Amino acid sequence: MRAVAKKRLITADDVDAEAKRGGKRLSAPRADTLVTPAAWSRAHELGLEIDQDGSGVAGVRVVRGESVQLERFTGAGAGKNVQLKDVITAADRSPMGAGFMSWSAADSFPWTLTYDEIDYVLEGVLHIVIDGKTIEGKPGDVVFIPKGSSIVFGTPSRVRIFYVTHPANWGG
């Protein structure tokens, strides 16, 4: 029989106690800690951080790439199968946003940026069409697109990018 490791439980009472001590952060490594929904809510109310990534530094957030599940981005238009996931947002108290996006050639779409954006090509070939010209990015390339640009996000096959936006609340 395999031994089951006991996990530490963090409750709203634990969050209250930490706040009362003047603490701003609770360490709660995912591997050995469970955090109740009430604890998350209370921490948010009190502005207390629950650190599950073990960064040990207040405000630092680690997003494990293998944990990211892309979701359909309806903003690309009807019938488009563009997949996207924001992983850093204004909710993280960041002035920048970041996430992953993927699409195929059939799903190219026009977009007007209300923010500055940097795209890092992870896989495939990225096409940015602007003013009738196509800018091409391949894996490892970084593309900067300034605020106010009207472009078409495209690809000749399939592409997956990591993006950073400023400001973080690019969606409105």
Higher-confidence residue: 170 or 149? 149
Tell me the HSE value of 26 on the side-chain side, using a 13 A CA sphere. Answer: 28
Instruction: Kindly tell me if the per-residue pLDDT of 59 is higher than 70.
Output: no
Q: Quote the pLDDT of residue 94.
A: 81
Tell me the HSE value of 15 on the side-chain side, using a 13 A CA sphere. Answer: 21
Residues 78 and 34 in one domain: no
Residue 47: pLDDT band by 50, 70, 90 thresholds? confident
Whole-angstrom Cα distance, residue 128 to residue 155?
Answer: 8
Residues 85 and 138 in one domain: yes
Sheet strands side by side (includes 109-112): 109-112, 150-154, 126-130, 133-137
Q: Is the pTM of this model over 0.75?
A: no
Provide the number of structural domains found in the chain.
Answer: 2
Host domain of residue 74: 65-166
Residues 34 and 73 in one domain: no
Residues 80 and 146 in one domain: yes
Helix (H, G, I), strand (E, B) or coil at 67: helix
- What number of other Cβ atoms are within 10 A of residue 140's Cβ? 8
Cross-strand bridge partners of residue 85? 100
Residues 71 and 36 in one domain: no
In a domain, 111, yes or no: yes
Residues 110 and 144 in one domain: yes
